[in-house]
Amino acid sequence: MARIYLVEDDPASLKLVQLILESRSHVIVGATTNAPDAKAGIWATKPDLCIIDISLEHGTSGIDVAEFVIEKIGSPVIIMSADDQPTLPVPFVLKPISPRRLIERVEHLLSWTAETIRL
C-alpha cells in the first residue's frame, strides 16, 4: 500500500486512476487539477508517489509539478499523457489509461524505490 497524490484535470481520467489504485489498496492522499494547488498539496502530504498529467487546468504544466516533486520532495513520479512522446526521464503512462499498464508502472516504481531505500 502506498500513499499517492494525483494531479489530473480530466474528471473521468482522475476517477478511473483513483479506482484502479484503490482496487490495489493504495490510498489517495490528495488530488487536484492545476500546478499551484498540486505543489501545495504535495508539499503538505509528502506522498510515496505522485501521478501527474502533463497538461493541466488553466494551461499549467505537469512537467513543472514533476520537477518540483523530484527536486523538493524526493518522491517518485509517473507522468500521464495522451502524447506518446515522453518528455521527462520518468515512468510514463499513455492515455487512455490501461489499468494493467498503470498497475505495472506503479508496482514496479514502488518496488524499485523500496529496494533503493534498503541499499
Note the pLDDT of residue 119: 44
| Regions in the chain scoring below 50 on pLDDT | 118-119
pLDDT at 29: 98
Instruction: Give the integer Cα–Cα distance in Å for 10 and 113.
Output: 28
Buried b (16+ CB within 10 A) or exposed e, 26-46: bebbbbbbbbebbbebbeebe
Which strands, in side-by-side order, build the sheet including 77-81? Answer: 27-32, 3-7, 49-53, 77-81, 92-94
Domains of the chain, CATH where assigned: 3-118 (3.40.50.2300)
